[in-house]
Amino acid sequence: LISGDLNLDSTLPSKLPPPPVFRSSAAPPPQGSPASRRARDDTMVGLSEGEKHFIRGGIAQDLRADGRRRLQFRALTVETGIIPQANGSARVRMGATEVIASVKAELGKPTILHPDKGKVSIYVDCSPTAAPMFEGRGSEELSAELSVGLQRCLLGGKSGAGAAIDLSSLIVVEGKACWDLYIDGLVVSSDGNLLDALAAAIKVALSDTGIPKVNVSLNNETDGEPEVDISDEEFLQFDTSGVPVIITLTKVGKHYIVDATSEEESQMSSAVSVSVNSHGQICGLTKRGGAGLDPSVIFDMISVAKNVSQRFYTLLESAFAAAEAVADE
């Protein structure tokens, strides 16, 4: 098929592969990450007009390209304990999207300002195997965007207040020793809805995490520095009931969908990511995309996300249970 439409539509600067000849005549893409993000998505997929029309029509008619309805998820599979060196790890697949999350715990020192809290950091990396444009520095922008999105939803304020992960449970000796959690996400294969998949993977990885039990003995010889003895056998499970999942509602045309594929994401006007905890409370909200939304639509989206999240929790739990069953075999 031939996707080239030769009429230059300058209102669409994010036209797929902009031919060099035409580039000068097309309006420069507006600055800022949402617009450039859309431009990148478009080049990533490079759909023809016919396909775009088909996708938009499918969303309007509540029957998407793979037969899903608007608020249906793709098949979800979970694996746990895939990285032996990490304290906890998980692989989550949603359709063709595949992400890995690992949790590593290290003993560190709490900051002077918050002597009663441990530290958590979240970083996401996009593997070049997912898409050629992630090679070199190509993934930096997307990685940063995903990292920030997850940090906002999981970490709370600068002081650590309001974090989904209970930071005071990470403390070993107040003011002296605490656990530092390093949460790393890796995008192995990208077919849309990365943020939701990463959040799910992190939640599962945290459930899989065992933090070694420590024996502390205060020793006067070492200037009051505690001597910490890490147990190899005993692990403490982590309370993850407060860790939220993220539901991204992607708005295409007049409707919004969950679990968008990258083809569908290329057609989005805006996307609202709502993080919801298991009690149905909203923990975070991010909006992407340059197009504006009516406040009432946002409220509507939040309530839809809340309902959908309960279904997603059930899905995730059954997938997690299946993964545990496989691991036990």
Partner 1 sequence: MGDLHLRLNQTQRVRLEAALHELQALAPAAAAVTFADNIPVNPEDTILKGHGTSDQDGEVVATVCGVVERVQNLVCVRTLRARYKPQKGDIIIGRVSEIASKRWRLETNFSQGAVLMLSSMNLPDGIQAEVCHIQHDGSLDLQPRSQKYGKLQRGQLLTVPAYLVKRRKQHFHHLEQYDADLILGCNGFVWVGEHAVVDEETNSNEDQHKLSMEVEAFTPLETRRHICRLANAVRVLSALGFTLTVELIIQTAEAGLSSDVEINNMLGAEFYVQTAEREAKRRADLSRRMNGPR
**Residue 200 CA to its chain's centroid (Å):** 7
> CA–CA separation, 265 vs 232, rounded Å?
45
Site for partner 1 in 288-327 (CB under 8 A): 319, 322
Closest by CA position to 183, among listed 33, 274, 83, 284: 83
Q: Is 4 in the site for partner 1 (CB under 8 A)?
A: yes
- Give yes or no for residue 280 binding partner 1 (CB under 8 A): no
Among 37, 38, 70, 93, contact with partner 1 (rule: CB under 8 A):
93
Q: Which is nearer to partner 1, 223 or 329 (CB)?
A: 329
Total residues contacting partner 1 by CB under 8 A comes to 36
The CA distance from 12 to 55, in Å, is: 18
**Dihedral pair phi/psi, residue 77, rounded to 5°:** -125, 150
Closer to partner 1 by Cβ: residue 50 or 280:
50
**3-state DSSP assignment of residue 207:** helix
Question: Residue 97 or residue 151: which is nearer to partner 1 going by CB?
Answer: 97
Q: Do 151 and 162 meet the contact criterion of CB atoms below 8 Å apart? A: no
| Cβ pair 200, 95 in contact under 8 A | no
CB 44 → partner 1: shortest distance, Å?
Answer: 12
Taking CB under 8 A as the binding criterion, the range among 46-54, 151-159, 285-293, 296-304 that sits at the site for partner 1 is 46-54
**Which residues ranging from 94 to 113 are in contact with partner 1 (CB under 8 A)?**
none
Query: Of the ranges 33-41, 63-71, 126-134, 271-279, which one interacts with partner 1 (CB under 8 A)?
Result: 63-71
Position among 23, 69, 213, 279 found at the interface with partner 1 (CB under 8 A): 69
Q: What is the rounded CA–CA span in Å between residue 246 and residue 138? A: 25
Instruction: Report the candidate in 62, 45, 57 with the shortest Cα–Cα distance to residue 261.
Output: 45
Does 51 bind partner 1 (CB under 8 A)? Our answer is yes
- HSE-CB of 124 using CA atoms within 13 angstroms: 27
Nearer to partner 1, 64 or 251 (CB): 64
From the list 10, 30, 46, 144, which residue makes contact with partner 1 (rule: CB under 8 A)?
46
Least Cβ distance, residue 45 to partner 1 (angstroms) = 10
Among 77, 127, 129, 269, binds partner 1 (CB under 8 A): 77
Our CB check for partner 1 shows the closer of 170 and 187 to be: 187
Q: Which is nearer to partner 1, 154 or 198 (CB)?
A: 198
Q: Binding to partner 1 by residue 129, rule CB under 8 A?
A: no
Nearer to partner 1, 93 or 203 (CB): 93
Burial 217-236 (b: 16+ CB within 10 A, else e): eeeeeeeeebeeeeeeeeee
Distance (Å, rounded) from C-alpha 135 to C-alpha 112? 39
Residue 54: CB minimum distance to partner 1, A: 5
CB of 267 to partner 1, least distance (A): 13
Element (H, E) at 197: helix 194-208
C-alpha–C-alpha distance, residues 315 and 72, integer Å: 11
- Compute the distance between CA of residue 246 and CA of residue 97 in angstroms, rounded to an integer: 15
- Size (the chain), residues: 329
Residue 25 as a binder of partner 1 (CB under 8 A): the answer is: no
Residues lying near partner 1 in the complex (CB under 8 A) are found at 1-4, 6, 17, 19, 21-22, 46, 48-51, 53-58, 60-61, 63-69, 72, 74-75, 77, 93, 319, 322
